Amino acid sequence: MEVVGGEGEFVECCYSSKVWSGRGRVRFGEGVGSVWWRNLNQIRSGVGLVDIGWLSDNIIWKVGDGRDTLFWVDPWLDGCPLARSFGRLYLLADNKLATVSEMFELGWGFGGEAWKWRRRLLVWEEGLLLECVERVITCILQVGTVDRWVWKLHTSQCYTVKSAYSFLTSIDTNQNEGFDSFLCLKAVPLKVNLFVWRLFLNILPTKDNLYGREVIDVTQLHCAALCGELEDRDHLFFRCEVYSRIWLLVSKWLGIDSVFNGNIGTHSTQFRGLGGFSKNSRTAFTIIWISVLFVVWKDRNNRIFQNKSVQLETLAEKVKLQMFWWLKSHYVLFDFDYPYWRLNPLCCLQAIV
Ligand SMILES: [Zn+2]
């Protein structure tokens, strides 16, 4: 069966109950195709879950004799296709659809017959090839064993509903797990990464935490935005009727109409998925999400410690400017001036996703 998922994406497998234990090859498209296809993508992307990589993290493609595994295209080594790790070599490869066993039999050592190119390799490309050879040369194929999907959460290595359910119910109750997907976000300064880490662990000095440590008394618990409510993490960043307007201003700037959840896990999942569920898109929207949080936190501190308050519109402008510098300093392809970024954020983000 072949299902077209749009933009060249396809499923080349029998998508039945045997999909996780049988042979097959799956490639997912993003936000395109039929309702069925999009639902399938959402399951795979973990929409609504704290750990959005749960499915792809727990299925691995195990190579046996290498006859059903495409050497360049399938993620058979360390979970990443060689076509991605060695994009230059893939472009030059003569047979892009060779299987692992074909490459092995031809000889994949340095100078082996497996390496056929559309033109002679340049010196630096030879260096890449050496690196690639070092990666594959240690692989040992198992004659008589078929290549197959392996489900990591059950001893039988086959998918069971019960194993998936118990895994999901255990991670969904642990909100701190959500921070894993934010670790090492290089486009964001270290101090801001630390801020997000403390936010997820709920150890920022918000007023409820300070009260818990007996630093302040019960009369000082009110939200700095003067909304009349008590300040805790979820209130300050996601529920406060004053600060929550900044989410609306920023999403309006992005041309997206959305109502957001009032808790850190669901809010982050929802916001980071606004641009689609590809890894790069999630990263870009995570940077926006963090930028808003950091601006809110700084403004809240200014209100408390310096008795200064500014309009929400000014804060939204700070989010835009802060993001502009973060992106500019990290992404070479983000080659825009500030006025253009301010007017065309999605267009500029396209350059980095
Ligand atoms: Zn408030």
Distance CA 92, CA 339 (A): 40
Q: Ligand 1 centre and the CA of 242: distance in Å? A: 6
Name the more confident of 321 and 166.
Answer: 321
Name the more confident of 305 and 167.
Answer: 305
Q: Ligand 1 centre and the CA of 221: distance in Å? A: 11
Q: What local confidence, expressed as pLDDT, does residue 313 receive?
A: 94
Distance CA 345, CA 321 (A): 11
Q: Please count the residues of the chain.
A: 353
Name the more confident of 275 and 175.
Answer: 275
- pLDDT higher than threshold 50 for residue 1: no
Please name which of 82, 72, 180 lies closest in space to residue 131, comparing C-alpha atoms: 82
Helix (H, G, I), strand (E, B) or coil at 46: coil
Q: Scan for tokens 């993001």, then name that residue.
A: 323
Q: What local confidence, expressed as pLDDT, does residue 50 receive?
A: 47
Go through 88-122 and write b for each residue having 16 or more CB atoms within 10 A of its CB, e for each that does not.
ebbebbeeeebbbbbbbeeebeeeeebbeeeeebe
Q: Ligand 1 centre and the CA of 174: distance in Å? A: 26
Q: Are 5 and 33 in contact (CB under 8 A)?
A: yes
Dihedral in degrees, nearest 10, Cα atoms 19, 274, 243, 189 = 90
Distance CA 205, CA 61 (A): 45
Tens digit of pLDDT for each residue in 31-69? Answer: 556 656 665 666 665 554 545 556 766 777 788 999 999
Q: Ligand 1 centre and the CA of 237: distance in Å? A: 9
- In 147-278, which ranges are continuous DSSP H helix? 161-172, 190-201, 207-212, 233-234, 244-253, 264-272
Q: Are 49 and 174 in contact (CB under 8 A)?
A: no
Q: Ligand 1 centre and the CA of 224: distance in Å? A: 7
Q: Are 243 and 288 in contact (CB under 8 A)?
A: no
Q: Ligand 1 centre and the CA of 235: distance in Å? A: 6
Q: Are 345 and 320 in contact (CB under 8 A)?
A: yes
| Mean pLDDT, residues 129-135 taken together | 90
Note if the pTM is more than 0.75.
no
Residue type, 15: Y
Q: Say which residues have a Cβ less than 8 Å from residue 223's Cβ, sequence separation at least 6.
A: 207, 229, 230, 231, 235, 236, 240, 242
56-60, 68-72, 75-79: the lowest-pLDDT one = 56-60
* Residue 13: pLDDT band with limits 50, 70, 90: very low
Q: Ligand 1 centre and the CA of 222: distance in Å? A: 8
Q: Where are the domains of the chain?
A: 175-349
Q: How large is the greatest C-alpha to C-alpha distance in the chain, in angstroms?
A: 78
Sort residue 72 into left (φ over 0), alpha (ψ -120 to 50) or beta.
Answer: alpha
- pLDDT higher than threshold 60 for residue 229: yes
The chain-wide mean pLDDT, for the chain, equals 80
Q: What local confidence, expressed as pLDDT, does residue 291 receive?
A: 95
Q: Ligand 1 centre and the CA of 300: distance in Å? A: 10
Q: Ligand 1 centre and the CA of 203: distance in Å? A: 19
Q: State percent of the chain over pLDDT 90.
A: 38
Q: What local confidence, expressed as pLDDT, does residue 37 receive?
A: 63
Q: Ligand 1 centre and the CA of 220: distance in Å? A: 13
Instruction: State the helix-helix crossing angle for 312-330 and 279-301, rounded to 10 degrees.
Output: 130
Q: Are 62 and 148 in contact (CB under 8 A)?
A: yes
Beta strand 2-4 with 10-12: parallel, antiparallel or unpaired? antiparallel
Q: Ligand 1 centre and the CA of 198: distance in Å? A: 20
Q: Ligand 1 centre and the CA of 234: distance in Å? A: 10
37-51, 73-87, 139-153, 239-253: the lowest-pLDDT one = 37-51
Q: Ligand 1 centre and the CA of 296: distance in Å? A: 11
* Residue 10: pLDDT band with limits 50, 70, 90: very low
Distance CA 100, CA 212 (A): 59
Q: Ligand 1 centre and the CA of 233: distance in Å? A: 10
Helix (H, G, I), strand (E, B) or coil at 148: strand
* Residue 72: pLDDT band with limits 50, 70, 90: very high
Q: Scan for tokens 């042979």, then name that residue.
A: 23
The Cβ of residue 72 has, within 10 Å, a number of other Cβ atoms equal to: 22
* Residue 14: pLDDT band with limits 50, 70, 90: very low
- pLDDT higher than threshold 60 for residue 20: no
Q: What local confidence, expressed as pLDDT, does residue 23 receive?
A: 42
Tens digit of pLDDT for each residue in 165-219? Answer: 667 656 544 444 455 555 557 888 888 988 988 898 888 999 999 988 888 888 8
